[in-house]
Amino acid sequence: MHPAFSVIFFTVTSGAGYGLISLLSLFQFSHYGIFLDKSTFFITAAIAISLFTMGLISSTFHLANPKNAWRAFMRFRTSWLAREGLLAILFYPLIFLYLYLTYIDFQIENFILMQFLSFIIFTFAVVIIYCTGMIYACLKTIPQWNTFWTPINYISIGIFLGGLIFFFILDLYNYEVSLYKSYLLLFIVLAFVLKALYYFSIRTPRHNIGQATNAAIKLKDTKVRLLDVGHTGGTFLTDEFGYKVAEKKLFRVKLFSMIGGFLIPFLLIYIHSFIYESLVICFMAIFLAFLGMVAERWLFFAQAKHVVNLYHGSQQV
């Protein structure tokens, strides 16, 4: 599939924003809470809301007619895109209610209720990321996306990026993060392993030209070969659904996303936590992680091959 920068930006930034707000709500009112003061709490919430709002806005840039974006909300029962969009809109009044109750010190006398609301915020944010992943995972025509690892990766990477930003904010305002830094290192490893499992699951093609042509003309007892693709130049289908990249380039991008996006941030956070404390090191971990996840998301689209390519010259997808 042709990688659209607006969609790459949307999936990375919105995932990070929802991951950050989910961690903020999880730790603020839990038994293992960090209990941020109001200013730090609202700064963190503002960063999270800005991230997923920018992501949602950018998601409309690749539409041919952005004015028709409202139609995406009309198929909630059958479309993961509609579910994600509607839940994202409903999340705003919920998060603003949550921030208002925090602002008026509602949690002091109603801590149990705030714990419950925090759990709702956490669950809501994770479900939205899940819906984003399922927009792609539900497409049976693209084997590289049609796997349960896709939404799992979207959730793990979103919380991983949000976790890095949360760690930076906590350290910037001198909060005790001895327990949280262990959680963060563990989750970086988990996100790395889950991404590696995704790559392992899509290593072999699922369909070949023989299966496709036989299925298309309903023949079971003979083999049919594709002799001509019916055109001499590129078409919309071959350009949009058959994006071709050299295997060496794909491998280099994958190597960068795994090393630069996961392993180096892990080492930087470990150095910052246990060897030499520096906010510059922590910021570099965030920068490299985001850069690596942009590469990972570009690879996610560039590697995807629609089955229609079997009828336009590809031997397998």
Task: Report CA dihedral (224, 228, 229, 232) to the nearest 10 degrees.
Answer: 170
Record the tokens describing residue 168, joined without a space.
Answer: 């930076």
Task: Report CA dihedral (42, 48, 49, 51) to the nearest 10 degrees.
Answer: 140
- Interval 124-132 mean pLDDT: 96
Q: 69's torsion region: left (phi>0), alpha (psi -120 to 50) or beta?
A: alpha
User: Of 96-110, 167-181, 220-234, 264-278, which gets the smallest average pLDDT?
Assistant: 220-234
Query: What pLDDT is attached to residue 74?
Result: 76
Q: Which pairs with CB-CB distance under 8 Å and at least 24 residues apart come from 243-248?
A: 243/1, 243/2, 243/3, 243/301, 243/302, 245/302
Cα separation, 226 vs 87, in Å, equals 45
- pLDDT tens-digit series, residues 41-90: 999 999 999 999 999 888 877 766 766 666 667 778 788 988 998 999 99
Q: What is the average pLDDT value for the chain, to the nearest integer? A: 85
Query: What pLDDT is attached to residue 66?
Result: 64
Task: Report CA dihedral (253, 259, 261, 267) to the nearest 10 degrees.
Answer: -170
Query: What pLDDT is attached to residue 153?
Result: 96
Answer yes or no: are the C-beta atoms of 153 and 194 closer than 8 Å.
Answer: yes
DSSP bridge partners of 208:
316
- pLDDT tens-digit series, residues 187-232: 999 999 999 999 999 887 766 666 666 666 666 666 666 666 666 6
Q: Is the pLDDT of residue 261 over 80?
A: yes
Record the tokens describing residue 99, joined without a space.
Answer: 């921030």
Cα separation, 107 vs 113, in Å, equals 8
Cα separation, 207 vs 211, in Å, equals 7
Query: What pLDDT is attached to residue 147?
Result: 92
Q: Is the pLDDT of residue 2 over 90?
A: no
Please give the residue that has the higher pLDDT: either 288 or 234: 288
Please give the residue that has the higher pLDDT: either 33 or 265: 265
User: Of 165-169, 221-225, 244-248, 287-291, which gets the smallest average pLDDT?
Assistant: 221-225
Domains and CATH numbers, the chain: 5-312 (1.20.1630.10)
Q: Which pairs with CB-CB distance under 8 Å and at least 24 residues apart come from 107-112?
A: 107/29, 111/29
Answer yes or no: are the C-beta atoms of 242 and 231 closer than 8 Å.
Answer: no
Q: Is the pLDDT of residue 296 over 70?
A: yes
The set of residues, in sequence order, having a beta carbon less than 8 Å from that of 155 and lying 6+ positions away, is: 126, 129, 130, 133
Query: What pLDDT is attached to residue 197?
Result: 95
CA distances from 101 to 27, 46, 170 (A): 16, 15, 22
Query: What pLDDT is attached to residue 304?
Result: 84
How many other C-beta atoms are found inside a 10 Å radius of the C-beta of residue 72? 17
Q: 63's torsion region: left (phi>0), alpha (psi -120 to 50) or beta?
A: beta
Answer yes or no: are the C-beta atoms of 52 and 17 closer than 8 Å.
Answer: yes
Q: 174's torsion region: left (phi>0), alpha (psi -120 to 50) or beta?
A: left
